Amino acid sequence: MPDGVAPVEAARAGAAAAGRPRHVAIIMDGNGRWASARRLPRAAGHRAGVKAVRRTIEAAITSGVEWLTLYAFSSENWGRPAEEVADLTALLKHYLRHETAELHREGVRLRIIGDRDRFGPDITAEAARAERLTGANTRLNLVVALSYGARAEILAAARRLAAEAAAGGVDPASLGEAEFAARLTTADMPDPDLLIRTSGERRLSNFLLWQSAYAELLFVDTLWPDFGTAEFEAALAEFGRRERRFGGRPG
């Protein structure tokens, strides 16, 4: 039996009922182009992007999506101009400090994946506080990827397994996909059913590479600050029209 059969069966079993995705992941792209088109500084685009985050969270709750993962800051984003990185980190700190209470009132559980320590102790502390406050909420699981890179995540999991094997804790011959996935930062999360990228770009940009093996990919031209309820519902409708076979025979 091929190694991928068991995970595929698990994915089938966990697929959302009635053509609705259980887990939606979004690469939020286009803030800079949105600002440039309006002759505004890039920081204005990022602030407008925060409003789109609010709309998307509300749309996810209304539609019954259980998990929403947002790619907010990639590990590669540290290479942007220092001024823009400073604007982004300040906006992130403001969001964690001032939006967490509203997320909690709405029953949203916030979780952060990625190398949060690179942002410094202030943001690390705010992130931990937000996760503690919202930890028991069940209406929506909101996952924010910060200083995240899928290759680094996969490499870290491989190193962890190698160390365990060297110490005699695991038998390499017995390892399968489930054991590897258990070492990822998303170990207790369902894989994305639908992955959306805004702004017309058509690449994954090092986002959830392992987890998105069987995700439906949707690339939309809308710039992220213009994304909202209508666009989210249109994406769910497109998902509902697709036939998910997980590598099986056509229907």
Residue-by-residue pLDDT tens, the chain, 251 positions: 334 444 444 444 444 455 899 999 999 999 999 999 999 999 999 999 999 999 999 999 999 999 999 999 888 888 888 888 888 888 899 899 999 999 999 999 999 999 999 988 999 999 999 999 999 999 999 999 999 999 999 999 999 999 999 999 989 999 999 999 999 999 999 999 999 999 999 999 999 999 999 999 999 999 999 999 999 999 999 999 998 876 665 55
106 has binding-site annotation: no
- Residue 109 resides in a domain: yes
Burial of residue 186 (CB within 10 Å: 0-12, 13-18, 19+) is buried
Residues 6+ apart with CB under 8 A from 118: 78, 147
- This prediction has a pTM of 0.89
Does 221 participate in catalysis according to the annotation? Answer: no
- Residue 5 resides in a domain: no
Q: Catalytic one among 3, 77, 122, 206?
A: 77
- Residue 198 resides in a domain: yes
- Residue 170 resides in a domain: no
Report residue 81 as tokens.
Answer: 């101009």
CATH number, position 84: 3.40.1180.10
206 has binding-site annotation: no
Q: Based on the structure, what is the number of domains in the chain?
A: 1
Residues 6+ apart with CB under 8 A from 88: 46, 73, 77, 80
| Neighbour count for residue 214 (Cβ, 10 Å) | 18
- Residue 67 resides in a domain: yes
Residue 63, CB-side half-sphere exposure with 13 Å CA sphere: 30
Q: Residue 102: which domain range?
A: 21-149+191-241
Does 29 participate in catalysis according to the annotation? Answer: yes
Vertex 223, ends 241 and 65: CA angle to 5°?
45
Amino acid at 197: R
| 3-state class (DSSP) for residue 126 | helix
33 has binding-site annotation: yes
- Residue 56 resides in a domain: yes
- Residue 142 resides in a domain: yes
Q: Catalytic one among 29, 87, 191, 193?
A: 29
